[in-house]
Amino acid sequence: MPGPTPDVDDDTPSDDSDDGVRIDMISGARMDGLTGMEKIRLILDGVRDGNIVILEEGLSPDEESKLIEVTMTEISPDDFTGIEIETYPKAEAGDQSFLDKLMGRESTQKLTVIGPANQIETLHKDENLISTLVSRK
Amino acid sequence: MGLLTNLKDSISRVTDGLFAADEPKRIGIYGPPNAGKTTLANRIARDWTGDAVGPESHIPHETRRARRKENVEIERNGRKVTIDIVDTPGVTTKVDYKEFLDHDMDKDDAVRRSREATEGVAEAMHWLREDVDGVIYVLDSTTDPFTQVNTMLIGIIESQDLPALILANKTDLPGSDVQQIANAFPQHETIPLSALEGDNMDEVYTKIAEYFG
């Protein structure tokens, strides 16, 4: 069972949306200790507050699938229209051992940017660069 | 504990595959909105059963529920393959009802359509994780395939070890660029077609028999 959803930082003032856009950069170490649903909750809670969430190590394909599914259930008219998500394209190199594949261990280390669909627009993306335009609410 | 569970799951997947060899394979037709998934599903269903799967439309999210056409028997080179076609809603990470207002809908209809679309996408993701045996991934060959949704979906399909056939649809339109799709997903074979015109369906059926038979 997933535990309570952790806040990114309880000490940070949250009502600062008039002044700018908050960016949460979440380390791989921080995400390692969370269950799949806790990760998704952490991301969506931040994005629904209008924040941009940057994950150092991204999500596994299964977690990405669940992120899309949960995002869909939370979309509501005039409130939340979904997410924009960008990662570097996956390296095609065989970076996963046979044992990793057999055991379902996936290599997920890819920086990922997630934001509210109505505030973030991808301008350019390639293997080495993600360029996004972020607007205030 | 996690290691043992994963090992058990892996063995279970292999044995399930062995013992279910004679069952019809559930083949999900996935892709972004407006790629021509329902047109393809209807083309396959009409060619082999005489019936259609569902209505087609240029308006995004016309398909808002996964629809199944069961026991479609495809015969190729003396080999018979029985599949259940699952036509799924176009996958996206965002749905804004305001986009439907451009298609002669009032706000209530647009909101209802967007709500149904979100439920349909969630359902499609669930099908992908739990209920399909293979995937036909349909892309509009006149648009850029290097999108995040395509990258994620192909990654999810690969992580499930599902056989996947990539179809570059709409080759009848000017601006169709099949090679761009082949370049985007070089680890998979890309088959060009026009589901609307029925162009190159022979090769599509041969590949379906090869991949999912």
In whole angstroms, what is the distance from residue B115 CA to residue A134 CA? 26
pLDDT digits (tens, 9 = 90+) for B77-98: 888 899 999 999 999 999 999 9
Between strands A120-125 and A130-134, the pairing is antiparallel
At A66, the pLDDT band (50, 70, 90 cuts) reads very high
Binary contact (B93, A75; C-beta < 8 A): no
- Asked if pLDDT for residue A119 goes beyond 70, the answer is yes
Count of C-beta atoms within a 10 Å radius of residue A132:
16
Provide the CA A102 distance to its chain's centre, in angstroms: 26
Domain encompassing residue B193: 25-90+119-212
Which of B30, B118, B130, B144 to mutate: most A Cβ within 10 Å? B118
Provide the CA B58 distance to its chain's centre, in angstroms: 17
Q: What is the pLDDT of residue A3?
A: 47
The SS3 of residue B135 is strand
Q: What is the pLDDT of residue A88?
A: 76
Between strands B134-140 and B164-169, the pairing is parallel
> Residue with structure tokens 């399930």?
B16
The answer to whether A127 touches A88, Cβ cutoff 8 Å, is yes
Between strands A83-87 and A52-55, the pairing is unpaired
Angle between the B107-130 and B148-159 helix axes, to the nearest 10 degrees? 30
Distance between B170 CA and the closest CA of chain A, angstroms: 25
> Residue with structure tokens 């409130």?
A79
Closest CA to B72 of B104, B41, B37, B103: B41
Q: What is the pLDDT of residue B1?
A: 45
- Asked if pLDDT for residue A4 goes beyond 60, the answer is no
- DSSP per residue, A84-124: EEEEPPPP-S--S-HHHHHTT-------EEEEETTTEEEEE
Which of B94, B100, B107, B157 to mutate: most A Cβ within 10 Å? B94
Residue B110 domain-assigned (yes or no): no
Structural domains in chain B (count): 1
> Any CB–CB contact under 8 A between B95 and chain A?
yes
Which strand (E) or helix (H) includes residue B62?
A: none
Q: What is the pLDDT of residue B19?
A: 45
Binary contact (B152, A61; C-beta < 8 A): yes
**Region of residue B118 (left: phi > 0; alpha: psi -120 to 50; beta: else):** alpha
At A97, the pLDDT band (50, 70, 90 cuts) reads low
Q: What is the pLDDT of residue A78?
A: 84
Q: What is the pLDDT of residue A64?
A: 94
pLDDT digits (tens, 9 = 90+) for B111-124: 998 999 999 999 99
Residue B181 domain-assigned (yes or no): yes
- Asked if pLDDT for residue B194 goes beyond 80, the answer is yes
For position B169, which CATH number holds? 3.40.50.300
The answer to whether B157 touches B185, Cβ cutoff 8 Å, is no
Average pLDDT score over chain B? 88
Q: What is the pLDDT of residue B10?
A: 57
pTM above 0.90, yes or no: no
Residue B128 domain-assigned (yes or no): yes
In whole angstroms, what is the distance from residue A109 CA to residue A96 CA? 12
- Asked if pLDDT for residue B50 goes beyond 90, the answer is no
Residue B126 domain-assigned (yes or no): yes
- Asked if pLDDT for residue A13 goes beyond 70, the answer is no
Lowest mean pLDDT among B78-82, B108-112, B185-189: B78-82
pLDDT (mean) for A21-28: 94
Residue B59 domain-assigned (yes or no): yes
Residue B10 domain-assigned (yes or no): no
**Which domains does chain A possess?**
23-92+108-134 (3.30.110)
Cβ-Cβ contacts under 8 Å, B94 against chain A: 71, 75, 81-84, 117
In whole angstroms, what is the distance from residue A115 CA to residue A101 CA? 30
Lowest mean pLDDT among A62-66, B50-54, B89-93: B50-54
- Asked if pLDDT for residue A59 goes beyond 80, the answer is yes
In whole angstroms, what is the distance from residue B99 CA to residue B112 CA? 13
At A7, the pLDDT band (50, 70, 90 cuts) reads low
Residue B159 domain-assigned (yes or no): yes
Q: What is the pLDDT of residue A94?
A: 45
Q: What is the ipTM of this complex?
A: 0.82
In whole angstroms, what is the distance from residue B48 CA to residue B24 CA? 15
Structure tokens at A35: 């269950």
- Asked if pLDDT for residue B37 goes beyond 70, the answer is yes
Residue B96 domain-assigned (yes or no): no
In whole angstroms, what is the distance from residue B168 CA to residue B44 CA? 16
The amino acid sitting at B60 is: P
Lowest mean pLDDT among A60-74, A82-96, B71-85, B195-209: A82-96
Instruction: Say which residue, B154 or B104, is predicted with more confidence.
Output: B154
Cβ-Cβ contacts under 8 Å, B90 against chain A: none
